[in-house]
Copies of this chain bind each other. A is one copy, B any other.
Amino acid sequence: MASPIRRIAVNTGGGDAPGLNAVIRAVVLAAIDRDWEIFGIERGYGALLGDGDMIPLTQEAVRGITHLGGTILGTTNRGNPFEWPSTGPAGNPIVADRSDEVLAAFRARGLDALIAIGGDGSLRIANGLARKGLPVIGVPKTIDNDLGVTFVTFGFHTAVQTATDAIDKLHSTAASHERVMVVEVMGRHTGWIALHAGMSGTADVILIPEIPYDLERICGKIEARYANGRNFAILVAAEGASPRGGEASYLESGAPGREARYGGLADRLARQIGERTKRETRSLVLGHLQRGGSPTSYDRLIALRFGAAAVRCAAAGRFGVMVALDPPAIRPVPLEDAIAHIRRVPLDSDTVQTARDLGISFGD
């Protein structure tokens, strides 16, 4: 039987995602409702390793934050306790495994459970710590919606809405200026945002990592539009889309951070399409806009449900799991399963079929 919980902590890892504050609020209120103490760990695992504070989270601390972007825990640190940035004997930068210290600090502070909100990378860390005995529960967080075992993650719908709003705005300008517009959205490994925003925003071409594209076919679709009297075209590309036989453009750069690579695909596609079609072609890279802003009501609700479900898992002694949406319910799944594979757009889904029915080209 699970030992009673008295004290838990919550941390966040990875990039910003709309709904983070809603998760935190639900975790805090559901914990307080059970008379538990609840702390926020600043800077990912940093506060357990001397970098940052443990913040007691009260009802007052989470007041009026459901609709706010960002996170009241401040930074979403990316530090990995298994590969913590350190200094080698010669003063050179190395990484050190400080996971044991995390566990020791966790116990020393009398914590009974950790709720770790994060994406693929953060959940791998959580799983590693769980295997070493840390009582951890994961909450899925990825704008890209690419986690394997949950139907959806929070933040995704807001990102899609932001991208859709942007594409809506571009229609009149593309038409007035008789231009081809290339819009790059997030999605390094999967095309969920591109597919959903492209369809909602009435794109003519959607490029996703799951379907390698052929530049000639893209240009053919564009020319067909012009031939049909439509003097503009909108192309929406996931950042990880790649040409048939080629590699994703974001792999070309050696830069370590994800965002450093935004824009390469859009700019290159615009240049290539402009050269081939002789049509004025412009690019727009939405980048960080997709991570910010007030979460949609959909994301607020799913975030609140994830947060409360994580606390219920803790109360039930269910550790080493991630809460996942299995419509209509939220269920715990083993962290091992959650990180085993990513969720790609199924090419035989009715959504992809609908896009084709609408005349949208995937460049294939």
Contacts and interface: CB of A to CB of B under 8 A. Distances in A.
From A161, A327, A357, residue with most partner B Cβ within 10 Å: A357
A178 B354 contact: no
A120 interface: no
Given A357-B29, A358-B308, A160 B297 contact: yes
Nearest to A330: B350
Interface of A is mostly: helix
Q: What is the copy number of this chain in the assembly?
A: 4
Interface string A25-59: 11001100100000000000000000000000000
Interface stretch (A88-96, A238-246, A279-287): A279-287
Nearest to A163: B297
A67 interface: yes
Given A75-B178, A200-B297, A297-B196, A304 B354 contact: yes
Given A15-B176, A301-B196, A330-B350, A358 B30 contact: yes
A291 B173 contact: yes
A302 to B, nearest CB: 10
Given A16-B176, A172-B68, A300 B200 contact: yes
Contact of A349 (B66, B174, B293, B329): B329
A248 interface: no
From A173, A312, A351, residue with most partner B Cβ within 10 Å: A173
Given A76-B177, A297-B161, A16 B64 contact: no
A34 to B, nearest CB: 9
Contact of A169 (B177, B292, B311): B292
25 contacts: A16-B173, A20-B176, A29-B357, A66-B200, A66-B202, A67-B168, A69-B173, A76-B177, A161-B296, A161-B297, A162-B169, A169-B288, A169-B292, A169-B293, A172-B292, A172-B293, A173-B288, A173-B291, A199-B300, A200-B301, A284-B287, A296-B296, A296-B298, A312-B353, A329-B350
Interface of A: 15-16, 20, 25-26, 29-30, 33, 64, 66-71, 74-76, 151, 157, 160-166, 168-178, 181, 196-197, 199-202, 231, 257, 259-260, 262, 280, 282, 284-285, 287-289, 291-294, 296-298, 300-301, 304-305, 307-309, 311-312, 327-330, 349-351, 353-354, 357-359
